[in-house]
Amino acid sequence: MTTLVPRGPYSNEELRRLYPANLKLQLVQILLRHGERSPVSARFQNTGLAPYWPYCSAAKRFSSVVMTKTDWSTWNELQWRRRVETFGDDDRPVLAAGPGGEVDTVCQLGELTDKGRETTLSLGERLRHLYVNQLEFMPKIISDADMIYLRATPMPRALDSVQQSFIGMYPASTRTASFPPPTIITRAPTDETLFPNEHNCRRFSQLARAFAQRTADRWNDSKDMDYLNSLISKWMPESSPRVAVDSHPRLSGIMDTVNSTLAHGPKTRLPSAFYDTKGREIIDKIGSEEWFSGYKESQEYRKVGIGALVGDIVTRMVGNIDRSGNDGLREVAGVDGDLGKGRGGESGIKLTMSGCHDTTLAAILSSLGAFEGEEWPPYTSHIAVELFKDESVKTDSATPAEPAPRQSFLGSSRKKTKSASLMMRKPTQELTAEEKAKLQGHYVRLRYNDRPVTIPGCQLPGNHMNGDETFCTLQAFKAIADKFTPRIWTDACAERLGQPAFPVSPELAGF
C-alpha cells in the first residue's frame, strides 16, 4: 500500500465502545510515519521516469534564522528559495529540472512532497477532531506547547511531518498571540532510537543482514520471483539483470520507487507492469519478511532493533503515573536553569507526537505480535498508544517521585545515574509491591490507523480489561515490553558480535 485512505471520524456509538465511561484517558503517544515523499534514490530512468520531481513547493518558501548583530543580541529570519544543481552532459553545472522543466519546486531525494505535507496536516486535523472536539482530552486553545512532547528523527521529512501534524492539530487560530516556540526534540544519529538504527548499532546490523540473506535464499529462485522478473526485468540494469531480494536495485528499493510514484501525479509514473496487482502483493510480502520477520522471531532482534524506543514509551506511561517528570516533561518544558515545569505551569505531558518511519511502526507492531497479515505501512500511518485509568478502581494517590539526575553539560551522565534502576526502566519482576500497586487500575490500548490492536499476551486471563482484550493492563504491557527493552542500548549493540543471528527456535513476539 502507498497512500493511506483514512477512515471517517468515529460515530458516537463507536466512541462509547472505544472510550468507556469508567476509563479516564491520561496520556496519548502518537508515532507517525512521514507523509508521501520522493524516492530515496533515482531508479529506472531508462523507463522515462524523471530523476527530479517537481512536487516540493516549500522550496520556494524556505526561511532560516540569521544573526543580525555581531554582539549576538539581534536575530531575524532570512527567507530564500532553493534550486537544485546537478551535472550536465559535459560535467558542467546545470539546474535540475522536473519533467516539465520546473526548477523552483524540485525535490531532493527522499524529501516530503506537497502531497506528504497535505496528508500529515490532515492527520493533525483528524487528531484534533478526536482528542479535542470529540473526547475533550486536549484543550481547544493553548498558550504554549509544554504539555506536548514533539520529537523527530534526523531525517528532514520526519521533522517536516511532525511539524505539519502539529499545525493541523493546533493551527494559528487555536494558539494565543503570546504562544512561544514549541520544543521539538532531536537526537544525534548515533543516539537515534526512533527508528531501527542499523548504521549505529553493530549487532542489529549483523542481525538485519542475516535475516535479509535468509529471505534472499528463500525467495530469489522462487516462482514468485520469476513472476516479478517476467514483469519488470527488462528495465533492470545490465550489471544486475534479474530482480531479487539482493539485486541492484534491491527488491525493497523497487518497492520504494513503485510506492512513491503511485502516491504522486502522472508526470512521474513507471510503466504499468510495475503496478501489476499480483506483482505488488509479492513485493510487499517478500519485503515485509526481509525487514520485519526478525522482530517476530527473535528477542535479541527486538531488543537492539526497537526495544529502546518501546522502553521509552513505557517510561513515559509510568512517569505519567508517578509524576516524576519522566513522561517527557523534563525534556520539553521550561527554560535554561528552570527545567521540569511548563512555561504555562504544566506539570505533566498529555500528548506526544513523534515523526518517524515505516520501519518504526512495523517494528513496534511486529515486536508486540500485532502485525500479522498487515501490509507495509502506508505513508502517514500512525500508532496511538493510549494510557487509561479505571476510575472505578481506587488506588493510593501517587507520591511524586524523586526527579532523575539532570544531564551534565559536560556530556552524557546516563551510565553514572543508573537509569535502569528507576521504576519505569526496572523489569516488572523486580518491582516492589508498592511500585506494582501504582500500576494497578491502568490500561494500555494501541490503535493502528484508527483500528484497535490486540496483543497476544494481553489476551491471557488477568491481562486485559473484562470484555475487551484490546485494553491491556499496564503491568502486563510493561512485562511484555520489558523482555526486549535493553538496560543500556549502546551496550546491547556491542554485545554478541559475530555470534549466531538466529535463535535456536522462534521466540514468539507479544508475550
Neighbour-count burial for 456-482, b at 16+ CB within 10 Å, e otherwise: bbbbeeebbbeebbbbbbbbbbbbbbb
Nearest to 346 by CA among 166, 121, 165, 183: 183
**C-alpha grid cell for residue 226?**
520469476
From 358, 382, 390, 464, the catalytic residue: 358
The residue type found at 10 is Y
Helix axes 277-297, 202-219, angle to 10 degrees: 140
Alpha-carbon Rg for the chain, nearest whole angstrom, is 24
Q: Is 191 a catalytic residue?
A: no
The residue type found at 405 is P
Q: Beta partners for 352?
A: 29, 149
Residue 213's φ and ψ, nearest 5 degrees, are: -65, -40
Strand segments (E) across 264-412 = 334-335, 338-339, 351-356, 382-390
Q: Beta partners for 472?
A: 444, 464
H-run or E-run covering 402? none
Q: Is 144 a catalytic residue?
A: no
How far apart are the C-alpha atoms of 191 and 220, rounded to whole Å?
Answer: 35
Instruction: Please report, in angstroms and rounded to a whole number, the separation of the first and last CA atoms in the chain.
Output: 28
H-run or E-run covering 100? none
Query: So which residues are the catalytic ones?
Result: 34, 358
